[in-house]
Structure 1
Amino acid sequence: MGASAYIGRVGGLAVALGVGAAVATGHGVAWADETGSTSSTSESSASTSADTAPTGSQPASSAAATNNTAAQTAGADADADEVDADEDDGDENADEDEDTDEENADEENDDTDADADTDGGEDLGVDTGGDGVVDTGAGTEPPAAQPGDDNASSNGAPAQPAAPAARAVAAASTGEEDKAAQNLTAGDTQANAQRMAVDITPAVEQTQTLITTTQTAAVPVALAATQAPAAPQNLLQRVVVNVLSSLGIGQFVSKLPGAPVWSPIVMALLGLGARREFNEPPMSFARALAAVSTSSVLTYPATSRTPQYISANTHFIEFVTGAGNLNNTTTRFGIGGTDLGIMWDNGIADNPATPDVNEHQVLIAFGDTFSNGWPNVRTGVWRFNTLFRSADGTLSNGLYVPNGVPYDHFSGSPMERPNWSDPILPSPGQPVHSPYAIGPEVTIIPTAGISTPYNNAYGARQYMSFMSVRSWDTPGRWTTNYSGIAYSDDNGQTWRIAPTSIRTAAAGRATVPYVSGNQNFQQGAFVAPPAGSPEAAAGWVYAYGTPSGRAGTVYLSRVQQTQILDVSKYEYWNGSTWVANTPSAAKPLLPGTTTSFFFFKQTTYPAVSEMSVQYNPYLKKYVMLYGDSGGKIVMRTATSPEGTWSAPTTLVGASSMAGKYAPYIHPWSGSDNVPTAEQKYLYWNLSTWNDYQVRLMRTDLTKV
Structure 2
Amino acid sequence: MSGVSFRPLAMTAVAVVAVLGLAGCSSAGSNASEQNVDLNAQAELTVPNVESASMIVPPAPPVPALPVKNAANEQNAGDGPGEGAPQAPGGPDLYPEPALGSVGEPEQRGNGQPITKGGVTNAFVAKLTGSQSVDHTDTKWGVAGTGNAVSWANGNGQVITAFGDTFGRPRPKGESSDQPPLVSGAGLNLPVFPKGVPFPALPYVNLVQGGQQGSGFAGDTGTQAPTGFDWRNNTLAYSSGKDLRNFSFDSFLTGSNSKEAREILGSKRVNGVEITTLPTSGVSIGGRQYMTYASIQRYGPAPGSWTSNYAGIAVSEDNGATWRKSKNAYWSNSGAGRNFQMPALAKYGDTIYMYGTAQGRVGGVYVAKVKASKILDRSSYSYWTNSGWVRGLKAAPAPIVSGGVGEVSVQYNSSLRQWLMISTDVFHNGIVLRQANNPMGPWTDARVIASGKNYPSIYGANIHPSSTGNDLFFTMSQWSSYNVYLMHTTVTRQGVPGPRPGSPAIPLPGGQGLPAGPAPDLPAPTFDLRLPDSMGGGTPNPKAPNKPS
Output the TM-score relative to the length of structure 1. 0.48
Q: Measure, in 2, the Cα distance between the counterparts of 1:229 and 1:381.
A: 16
**Counterpart of 2:490 in structure 1: which amino acid?**
D
Q: Which residue of 2 aligns with 1:380?
A: 229
Of stretches 647-656 and 484-493 in structure 1, the one that deviates more from structure 2 is 647-656
Q: Measure, in 1, the Cα distance between the counterparts of 2:282 and 2:454.
A: 28
Q: Measure, in 1, the Cα distance between the counterparts of 2:171 and 2:120.
A: 29
Change beyond 3 A, Cα 1:127–1:618: farther
Asked if 1:582 is matched to 2:428, the reply is: no
Give the 3-state SS of the residue equivalent to 1:491 in structure 2. coil
Q: Which residue of 2 aligns with 1:519?
A: 338
Change beyond 3 A, Cα 1:313–1:620: farther
Q: Which residue of 1 aligns with 2:279?
A: 446
Q: Which residue of 1 aligns with 2:151?
A: 343
Change beyond 3 A, Cα 1:337–1:573: same
**Counterpart of 1:344 in structure 2: which amino acid?**
W
Q: Which residue of 1 aligns with 2:438?
A: 640
Q: Which residue of 2 aligns with 1:190?
A: none
Q: Which residue of 2 aligns with 1:683?
A: 473
Q: Measure, in 2, the Cα distance between the counterparts of 1:419 and 1:625.
A: 33
Q: Which of 295, 307, 311 in structure 2 is aligned with 1:468?
A: 295
Change beyond 3 A, Cα 1:380–1:116: closer
2:267 and 2:275 in contact (8 A); partners too: no
Give the 3-state SS of the residue equivalent to 2:339 in structure 1. helix
Asked if 1:557 is matched to 2:501, the reply is: no
Q: Which residue of 1 aligns with 2:239?
A: 390
Q: Which of 69, 72, 78 in structure 2 is aligned with 1:134?
A: 78
Q: Which residue of 2 aligns with 1:654?
A: 452
Change beyond 3 A, Cα 1:424–1:526: same
Q: Which of 337, 344, 351 in structure 2 is aligned with 1:540?
A: 351
**Counterpart of 2:321 in structure 1: which amino acid?**
Q
**Counterpart of 2:368 in structure 1: which amino acid?**
S
Deviations 1:426-480 (A, max 9, x none): 13237xx9xxxxx711111111111112xxxxxx111111111112121122111
The sequence identity of aligned pairs, in percent, is: 33
Deviations 1:306-353 (A, max 9, x none): 9999899951111110123311001111110000110111112xxxxx
Deviations 1:512-536 (A, max 9, x none): xxxx20111010211111xxxxxx2
**Counterpart of 2:325 in structure 1: which amino acid?**
I
TM-align CA RMSD: 3.4
Q: Which of 387, 398, 414 in structure 2 is aligned with 1:617?
A: 414
Q: Measure, in 1, the Cα distance between the counterparts of 2:483 and 2:375.
A: 31
Change beyond 3 A, Cα 1:500–1:374: closer
Deviations 1:263-317 (A, max 9, x none): 6xx79xxxxxxxxxxxxxxxxxxxxxxxxxxxxxxx9996668999989995111
Shift of 1:549: 1.1
Deviations 1:184-240 (A, max 9, x none): xxxxxxxxxxxxxxxxxxxxxxxxxxxxxxxxxxxxxxxxxxxx87444x44xx5xx
Give the 3-state SS of the residue equivalent to 1:498 in structure 2. strand
Q: Measure, in 1, the Cα distance between the counterparts of 2:261 and 2:111.
A: 26
2:476 and 2:486 in contact (8 A); partners too: yes
Higher helix share: 1
Q: Measure, in 2, the Cα distance between the counterparts of 1:364 and 1:666.
A: 9
2:296 and 2:306 in contact (8 A); partners too: yes
Change beyond 3 A, Cα 1:314–1:571: farther
2:146 and 2:165 in contact (8 A); partners too: yes
Shift of 1:668: 1.3
Deviations 1:648-689 (A, max 9, x none): 11112231201111111101111xxxxxxxx43110001111
The 5 A counterparts of 1:248-327 are: 261-262=89-90, 315-327=123-135
Give the 3-state SS of the residue equivalent to 1:518 in structure 2. helix
Deviations 1:353-395 (A, max 9, x none): xxxxxxx111101000011126657311100000111011101
Shift of 1:423: 0.5
1:388 and 1:401 in contact (8 A); partners too: yes
Larger Rg: 1
2:433 and 2:446 in contact (8 A); partners too: yes
Q: Which residue of 1 aligns with 2:199?
A: none
Change beyond 3 A, Cα 1:111–1:428: farther
Q: Which residue of 1 aligns with 2:255?
A: 415
Q: Which of 495, 509, 528 in structure 1 is aligned with 2:347?
A: 528
**Counterpart of 2:376 in structure 1: which amino acid?**
L
Q: Which residue of 2 aligns with 1:627?
A: 424
The 5 A counterparts of 1:83-482 are: 110-111=58-59, 131-134=75-78, 230-232=82-84, 234-235=85-86, 238=87, 261-262=89-90, 315-348=123-156, 360-373=157-170, 376=173, 378-397=227-246, 399-402=247-250, 404=251, 412-429=252-269, 440-453=273-286, 460-473=287-300, 474-482=302-310
Q: Measure, in 1, the Cα distance between the counterparts of 2:422 and 2:295.
A: 23
Shift of 1:498: 0.5
Q: Which residue of 1 aligns with 2:34?
A: none
Give the 3-state SS of the residue equivalent to 1:622 in structure 2. strand
Shift of 1:396: 1.3
Shift of 1:607: 2.4
Gapped runs of 5+ residues in structure 2?
A: 1-56, 94-105, 176-226, 495-549
Higher strand share: 2
Change beyond 3 A, Cα 1:369–1:620: same
Change beyond 3 A, Cα 1:311–1:127: same
Q: Which residue of 2 aligns with 1:357?
A: none
Deviations 1:148-179 (A, max 9, x none): xxxxxxxxxxxxxxxxxxxxxxxxxxxxxxxx
1:316 and 1:696 in contact (8 A); partners too: yes
Q: Which residue of 2 aligns with 1:668?
A: 466
Change beyond 3 A, Cα 1:395–1:300: farther
2:125 and 2:488 in contact (8 A); partners too: yes
Gapped runs of 5+ residues in structure 1?
A: 1-108, 118-123, 136-227, 239-259, 268-298, 349-359, 405-411, 434-438, 454-459, 507-515, 530-535, 591-604, 671-678
Deviations 1:103-133 (A, max 9, x none): xxxxxx94369x679xxxxxx9x99987423
The 5 A counterparts of 1:70-89 are: none
Change beyond 3 A, Cα 1:315–1:429: closer
**Counterpart of 1:667 in structure 2: which amino acid?**
P
**Counterpart of 2:278 in structure 1: which amino acid?**
I
Q: Which residue of 2 aligns with 1:56?
A: none
Change beyond 3 A, Cα 1:607–1:580: same
Change beyond 3 A, Cα 1:302–1:501: same
**Counterpart of 1:686 in structure 2: which amino acid?**
M
Q: Measure, in 1, the Cα distance between the counterparts of 2:153 and 2:107.
A: 18
**Counterpart of 2:351 in structure 1: which amino acid?**
W
Q: Which of 479, 487, 494 in structure 1 is aligned with 2:315?
A: 487
